[in-house]
Amino acid sequence: MGINLIWAEAANGVIGKDGQMPWHSHEDMVHFRRLTTGHPIIMGWKTFCSLGQRPLPNRENIVLTHHRLDDIKGIKPVSFPQVQQLVSDQSSDYFVIGGASVYQQLLSLASRLYRTIIQDDYAGDKKMPPIDYDQWQLLDSQTVAASKEGEPDCIFQVWQRLDEK
Ligand X SMILES: NC(=O)c1ccc[n+]([C@@H]2O[C@H](COP(=O)([O-])OP(=O)(O)OC[C@H]3O[C@@H](n4cnc5c(N)ncnc54)[C@H](OP(=O)(O)O)[C@@H]3O)[C@@H](O)[C@H]2O)c1
Which residues lie near ligand X (CB under 6 A)?
A: 7-8, 15-16, 19-21, 43-47, 50, 64-67, 79-80, 97-102, 105, 126
Residue 91 and residue 89: Cα distance in Å, rounded? 5
**42, 83 in Cβ contact below 8 A?**
yes
**104 or 162, CB closer to ligand X?**
104
Nearest distance, CB of residue 8 and ligand X, angstroms: 4
Nearest distance, CB of residue 30 and ligand X, angstroms: 14
- The strand pairing partners of 16, in sequence order, are 126
Coil vs helix vs strand at 44: strand
Nearest distance, CB of residue 65 and ligand X, angstroms: 4
Residue 162 and residue 159: Cα distance in Å, rounded? 9
**65 or 160, CB closer to ligand X?**
65
Nearest distance, CB of residue 146 and ligand X, angstroms: 16
Nearest distance, CB of residue 6 and ligand X, angstroms: 7
Residue 130 and residue 150: Cα distance in Å, rounded? 29
**31 or 126, CB closer to ligand X?**
126
Largest CA distance in the chain: 44
**8 or 110, CB closer to ligand X?**
8
**106 or 111, CB closer to ligand X?**
106
Mapping DSSP onto H, E and C, the string for 120-137 reads CCCCCCEECCCCCHHHEE
Residue 34 and residue 79: Cα distance in Å, rounded? 27
Q: Hey, what amino acid is at 88?
A: S
